[in-house]
Amino acid sequence: MGHFQISGKIRCENFLILKGRGDSMKILDSSSLQDSMETRAKHYKNLQEQFNQLRKAFNEIVDLDNFEGKGAEAIKGFYQGQIEVVEAWQRLTDRQIAFFEGVAGKLQDKDLGDNTRVETDFLENDLSQKERIADEMITEQKKSLDNIFREIDDLISLDSFSRSKFDDQMADIHKKKIKTLDAIDELDKELKEEYISSEGEESYVIQLFSALLEATKQGNSITPINFNTEAFHTSEAYQVKSEAEEVTLSYLTFKQDEKEAREIENRPWYKNFWEGTKTFAGEFSGYYDYKRATEGIDPVTGKKLLILKE
């Protein structure tokens, strides 16, 4: 497998967050994001085809009838192990494809699809400032008119304009602003969590391949003829192979069901289902253990953990 280059992981924050005038500034360019996700999905589909060719080549070696003997069996066992590693890579690429292809739907769920572009700094600062200025201007204008009308009240009774329509419109603008900011934060959080949850599966593939190499090692050399099938099958990584497969299957099932639910506009159920899938995958990967140790916060409940001193 050495001649196949597996590209590195995309940094999660590149999906949505761009550093700007402030560290918390977020910019969403939906069109650009969707184009990027389509490109990544195509990349992984091409990678899948390479894995298919690789698996086919390994199968041809395993199926050689005239290749016999103890050394031949060891070599066949090694390439059978390679097939299982390739299958693990393919499960991971299936997962990544499902994730990338689902981003457009996530955007639509939040009413942030199509050509939407949002800069949170503008909403939080510039627009908020303009809201205050508009309110102050209307307040001063009404106050001035009220004073003038009071002075001529003995001649004619007049009332200044009503603020109700203006206040209703400003309240609507404020409501839309808050809704958009909340949607951006939710989208950012959901995409990061979903992508990060794949780290356990990536780690598993690497561990499985390492176990394969370890079972092939003799001294400082790694040669297929030295492959020990029993050592590979009793390795920790191989022992949890079924669990690893189940994690990916659960995620792929979730993504398919999510897509179908979205088509019939039945969104609420899959949010709860994802929480269960995310927890299962996170615990399997050891990622949650890492988060608990480094941040002192339970990533499932969000609560700060009590640290006992010896």
d(CA 215, CA 212): 5
Pick the closest to residue 118 from 265, 41, 10, 20 (CA basis): 20
pLDDT mean over 219-235: 92
**Each residue's pLDDT tens digit, 266-303:** 555 555 555 555 554 555 555 455 455 556 655 445 55
pLDDT mean over 71-95: 95
pTM of the model: 0.72
Which CB contacts under 8 angstroms, 24+ apart, belong to 136-143? 138/163, 138/166
The torsion angles phi and psi of 217, rounded to 5 degrees, stand at -80, 140
Angle (deg, nearest 10), helices 164-196 and 70-109: 180
The torsion angles phi and psi of 68, rounded to 5 degrees, stand at -125, 170
The ranges assigned to domains in the chain are 12-295
Among 62-66, 104-108, 199-203, 265-269, name the one with the lowest average pLDDT. Answer: 265-269
Q: How confident is the model at residue 169 (pLDDT cuts 50, 70, 90)?
A: confident
**Each residue's pLDDT tens digit, 140-158:** 777 777 777 677 777 777 6
Which string of DSSP letters, residue by residue, matches 214-272? HTTEETTEE-GGG--HHHHHTSHHHHTHHHHHHHHHHHHHHHHHHHHHHHTT--HHHHH
